[in-house]
Amino acid sequence: MLKSARIAVFVSGGGTNLQALLDAQRDGKIPHGEIALVISSQACAYALERAEKANVPAHTVPSSLIQHDFEAAIELLLEQYKIDVIVLAGFLSILSENFTKKWPRRILNIHPSLIPAFCGVGFYGLHVHEGVLARGAKVTGATVHFVNEIADDGPIILQKPVAVQPDDTPEILQKRVMQEAEWLILPRAVSLFCDNKLEVKGRTVRVLS
Ligand code: GRF
């Protein structure tokens, strides 16, 4: 019997991906995981209200702290709540190599494009979708990947394509990518992780049956 993996979700904004995880947990779709902690880099993040409504302990570690103090405060919370895996869900702060190397293949991130397209430094939030539309791409989507020391560079876990429509604005496209991809593949990837169903070899992730 797998013990339940204790999950920390890092947020910075609206928390719609956090909500997708909370809803999946409620619906029994993450049977071997428990969302035990939410950490926000912004005190005003609506994601904090979502955590409170779901009775999940939540703390703000302000991104205004210097990197060393920011990460030390986070690490203290991760220890206090006995966290096994970190999920970045709309988290806009950088985690240093010093931090990420302590969590090899135990930090997952949701990115709103089909990596390696439209990712890396500067590609976050609406900027991703602005780039997709400016390039005239016909297909975009979302990616869940492991986090390493380079932005959006870790092994890809799951991806889901989304068609770009002729009249899309960045806002319309962002919403569709969230609804049709992000909110589906993030809970699925977290559940697979908690079920020990992700086999990583080099930069390739295989989902075990
Ligand atoms: C989402 O598009 C997510 O992919 C990106 O940040 C946006 C906001 O996420 N990382 P959320 O609503 O705060 O989950």
Query: Per residue of the chain (209 residues), what is the pLDDT tens digit?
Result: 567 999 999 999 999 999 999 999 999 999 999 999 999 999 999 999 999 999 999 999 999 999 999 999 999 999 999 999 999 999 999 899 999 999 999 999 999 999 999 999 899 999 999 999 999 999 999 999 999 988 899 999 999 999 999 999 999 999 999 999 999 999 999 999 999 999 999 999 999 98
Distance 1 CA to ligand 1 centre (A): 33
Atom of ligand 1 nearest to the CA of 111: 4
Atom of ligand 1 nearest to the CA of 19: 14
Atom of ligand 1 nearest to the CA of 178: 2
Which residue's CA is minimally distant from atom 13 of ligand 1?
Answer: 15
The C-alpha atoms of residue 186 and residue 133 are separated, in whole angstroms, by 24
Describe the strand order of the beta sheet including 85-88 as a list of residue ranges: 58-60, 33-40, 5-11, 85-88, 107-111, 139-146, 156-163, 204-207, 198-201
Instruction: Report pLDDT for 156.
Output: 98
The C-alpha atoms of residue 15 and residue 49 are separated, in whole angstroms, by 9
Closest CA to 95 of 111, 113, 109: 109
Distance 177 CA to ligand 1 centre (A): 10
Instruction: Report pLDDT for 2.
Output: 65
The C-alpha atoms of residue 116 and residue 68 are separated, in whole angstroms, by 29
Distance 112 CA to ligand 1 centre (A): 7
Q: Can you give the pTM of this predicted structure?
A: 0.97
Q: Which of 32, 59, 68, 111 is catalytic?
A: 111
Residue 110, ligand 1, Cβ within 6 A: yes
Amino acid at 135: R
HEC assignment per residue over 15-59: CHHHHHHHHHHHCCCCCCEEEEEEEECCCCCHHHHHHHHCCCCEE
Instruction: Report pLDDT for 3.
Output: 74
Residue 89, ligand 1, Cβ within 6 A: yes
Residue 13, ligand 1, Cβ within 6 A: yes
Contact status, residue 124 vs residue 115, Cβ threshold 8 Å: no
The C-alpha atoms of residue 75 and residue 10 are separated, in whole angstroms, by 12
Active-site annotation holds for 111: yes
Instruction: Report pLDDT for 1.
Output: 59
